[in-house]
């Protein structure tokens, strides 16, 4: 399959990149990790105005989607700039509620999705019963709606609160166990099917995001080894350094087409879309993790310091590697689904 972005999609990515590059996202990430959400929420509003949160929402509910290919472009840029907040989970909730609406239950979609699109409502999800899902919800403390599908009984709950915020590999990823009310807001087989599709979208968006994280780590490391000198020459001139970075580039270049392929499969609604998504998530996570290890080594001791901005991407690469499916779990799921 040959795949290439068109001019409009590439310009969308460039526009997002310019906007985020001018937004001092490292400062927003550090503030978010401290529990100061102000700068991050200002960034959230700009992303809403750019149409990012409408990419997974059908036009009937105020969105422009579902547009998985454009979502790939957007989430890669969000990863490249280390944007904090439940951006992946927002896409998952959008797909969850839209699929319930398709199944004849539009009430939740009508109540939430228009506000999600314009940034008026922040949402997150915990889908422990779905593939790659977890009982923890990301950034529940800053969201207006926390949707929980525990699995087992096909029930969907809207959390009434949450437990203490737990530490994460990425300090800007604030996890908590949601507390559910006694009555579900939706029930039945449609919930299970919608939760499964939402988890696929979450894994797909996380794959694009972690791919962007890997690209940022590579770009920063290449820039660093061009400047730092040893024995009178830039350290990037040494063959060992060149080969290490070339391996990282190859890994990211191989993962990119898998992420775009997953987007095309989701857009077409093909039966093998789940396997395509799982393969993309495994490849992108491994490639970004390799980029993180190379970046840490080639930056030397400075790479270990939390004060250096590189640490923001290092933490995100590790956390996103396991979010919505570890590489091992994704490979196993790919094998199972392709074997059917």
Q: DSSP per residue over 161-221, as a string? A: EE-PPBP-SSTT--EE-EEE-SS-SEESHHHHHHHHHHHHHHHHHHHHHHHHHHHHHHHHH
Residue 148 φ/ψ, nearest 5 degrees? -130, 125
Asked whether the predicted pLDDT for residue 340 surpasses 80, the reply is: no
Residue 2: what pLDDT? 62
Averaged pLDDT for residues 269-284 = 92
Averaged pLDDT for residues 184-202 = 93
Asked whether the predicted pLDDT for residue 151 surpasses 80, the reply is: no
Averaged pLDDT for residues 207-229 = 97
Residue 339: what pLDDT? 67
DSSP state of 139: T
**pLDDT (tens digit, 9 = 90+) per residue, 161-179?**
999 998 788 989 999 999 9
Residue 33: what pLDDT? 93
Q: What is the band of 327 on the pLDDT scale with cuts at 50, 70, 90?
A: very high
Query: In this predicted structure, which of 29-33, 118-122, 247-251, 297-301 has the lowest mean pLDDT?
Result: 297-301
Averaged pLDDT for residues 217-235 = 94
Asked whether the predicted pLDDT for residue 152 surpasses 80, the reply is: no
User: In sequence order, what are the beta bridge partners of 137?
Assistant: 176
Averaged pLDDT for residues 69-95 = 96
Query: In this predicted structure, which of 11-15, 201-205, 223-227, 336-340 has the lowest mean pLDDT?
Result: 336-340
Residue 4: what pLDDT? 81
Q: What is the band of 65 on the pLDDT scale with cuts at 50, 70, 90?
A: confident
Residue 248: what pLDDT? 97
Residue 147 φ/ψ, nearest 5 degrees? -95, 130
Q: Collapse the DSSP code of 128 into the 3-class scheme (helix H, G, I; strand E, B; otherwise coil) and give the result.
A: coil
Averaged pLDDT for residues 126-132 = 90
For Cα atoms 204, 209, 212, give the angle at the middle one, nearest 5 degrees: 130
Q: How far apart are CA 228 and CA 232, in angstroms?
A: 10
């Amino acid at each position: 399959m040959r795949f290439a972005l068109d001019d409009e999609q590439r310009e969308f990515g460039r526009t997002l990149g310019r906007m985020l590059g001018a937004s001092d996202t490292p400062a927003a990430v550090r503030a978010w990790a401290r529990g100061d959400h102000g700068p991050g929420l200002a960034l959230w509003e700009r992303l809403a105005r750019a149409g990012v949160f409408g990419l997974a929402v059908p036009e009937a509910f105020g969105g422009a989607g579902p547009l998985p290919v454009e979502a790939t472009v957007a989430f890669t840029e969000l990863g490249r700039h280390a944007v904090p907040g439940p951006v992946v989970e927002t896409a998952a909730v959008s797909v969850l509620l839209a699929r319930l609406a398709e199944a004849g239950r539009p009430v939740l979609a009508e109540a939430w999705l228009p506000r999600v699109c314009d940034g008026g409502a922040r949402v997150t999800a915990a889908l422990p019963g779905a593939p790659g899902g977890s009982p923890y919800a990301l950034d529940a403390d800053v969201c207006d709606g926390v949707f929980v599908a525990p699995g087992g009984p096909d029930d969907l709950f809207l959390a009434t609160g949450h437990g203490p915020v737990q530490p994460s590999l990425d300090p800007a990823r604030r996890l908590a166990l949601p507390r559910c009310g006694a009555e579900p807001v939706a029930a039945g087989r449609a919930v299970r099917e919608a939760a499964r599709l939402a988890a696929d979208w979450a894994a797909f968006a996380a794959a694009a995001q972690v791919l962007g994280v890997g690209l940022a780590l590579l770009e920063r490391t290449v820039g660093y080894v061009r400047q730092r000198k040893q024995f009178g020459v830039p350290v990037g001139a040494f063959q060992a350094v060149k080969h290490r970075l070339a391996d990282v580039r190859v890994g990211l270049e191989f993962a990119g087409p898998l992420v775009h392929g997953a987007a095309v499969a989701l857009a077409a609604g093909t039966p093998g879309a789940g396997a395509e998504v799982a393969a993309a998530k495994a490849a992108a996570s491994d490639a970004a993790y390799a980029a993180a290890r190379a970046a840490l080594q080639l930056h030397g001791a400075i790479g270990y310091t939390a004060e250096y901005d590189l640490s923001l991407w290092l933490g995100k690469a590790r956390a996103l590697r396991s979010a919505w499916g570890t590489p091992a779990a994704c490979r196993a799921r790919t094998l199972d689904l392709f074997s059917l």
